[in-house]
Amino acid sequence: MASRPPRDKDVYAAIVTPKAAAADDAVEPVVPWSLVRNPLESAHWLSVVAISWIGPLISKGAKAPLTEADVWPLPHSDTAEVLYAEFRQHWDVEQTKPAPALWYAIYRTFRGRIWYSFSLYVVSGALMLVQPILIKSMLQFLQQPDDRPIATSVGISNGYVLAAALSILTIVSVTIGDYGQYLANHLGVNAKLVLIDTVFKKVLCMSGYATKDLSTGDIVTMASVDADRMFFGFLMGYWTFIRLSYSSKDEVRMPNDSLALG
């Protein structure tokens, strides 16, 4: 007797071998990034300078919207507990003086990082000032006739070398400047966190009688507006001094023209 052909309503169940079932059960669960150590704490110095350690987070955000579980926790050195403990040591010293200065306590807390990031701004600004000189030399190279010896401001008579020097100088100056700006942003966020933590710790330690003249708006202003000013001070305050170096050299003379730098 011939077997009947299978019909659409016939249901077939897949047979799973014990080995395949065990392999499926052995798949490790995905650990959310919020429970993983921040890669900045173990990143190589080149990864820190190029800010490539944050690349996986950017790639993940490009594929799907980020959630709280996708973001790494703060590095231990950036937590409020660590930053406030260091700030508190300098603030206790300031409180022993007749006129304690909050800004000086913050400066003492981040003194090394402030001067390091500021020095990067200075180096980047100095390299940017050299760029017009190389551009001037390239124009001198292009404008001089072929039958005459080529003389430029930097003493380089090879056009390829001038172009390579300008490219390398631009890349280095931009990289140093961007890294310095990253450090300034990082420093501003840390200082803002210290100020917010200080405000709320002070309010929580005050008695009800001491806070009777202190409104909620005053607390919010100190913890948000004043803290934001601290952040923007670190973000843009360096350029107040760097700009002076640009103003001291306001134009570079070209062979038949001048290039104004602002």
The pLDDT assigned to 102 comes to: 87
Express as a percent the part of the chain with pLDDT over 90.
21
The pLDDT assigned to 256 comes to: 46
CB of 236 within 8 A of CB of 190? no
Q: Minimum mean pLDDT among 36-50, 132-146, 217-231, 247-261: which range?
A: 247-261
Q: How many CB atoms lie within 10 A of CB 188?
A: 22
pLDDT digits (tens, 9 = 90+) for 148-178: 777 777 788 788 888 899 999 999 999 898 8
* pLDDT (average), residues 92-116: 91
The pLDDT assigned to 43 comes to: 86
The pLDDT assigned to 2 comes to: 54
What does the alpha-carbon distance between residue 32 and residue 48 come to, in Å, rounded to a whole number? 23
Torsion sign across C-alpha atoms 233, 235, 240, 241: positive
- Residue 116: pLDDT above 80? yes
Residue at 47: amino acid letter = S
Nearest alpha carbon to residue 176 among 238, 223, 99? 238
The pLDDT assigned to 15 comes to: 60
- Residue 3: pLDDT above 70? no
pLDDT digits (tens, 9 = 90+) for 36-94: 888 888 888 888 888 888 899 999 999 989 888 889 998 988 998 999 999 999 999 99
The band of 7, judged by pLDDT with boundaries at 50, 70 and 90, is low
What does the alpha-carbon distance between residue 76 and residue 84 come to, in Å, rounded to a whole number? 12
pTM for the structure as a whole: 0.72
> What distances in angstroms separate CA 221 from CA 33, 76, 120, one per listed residue?
33, 28, 33
What does the alpha-carbon distance between residue 47 and residue 43 come to, in Å, rounded to a whole number? 6
Which is more confidently placed, 262 or 79?
79
Q: Minimum mean pLDDT among 78-87, 198-207, 211-220, 233-242: which range?
A: 211-220
Rounded (10°) angle between helices 238-247 and 111-143: 30
Q: 114: burial class by Cβ within 10 Å (0-12, 13-18, 19+)?
A: buried
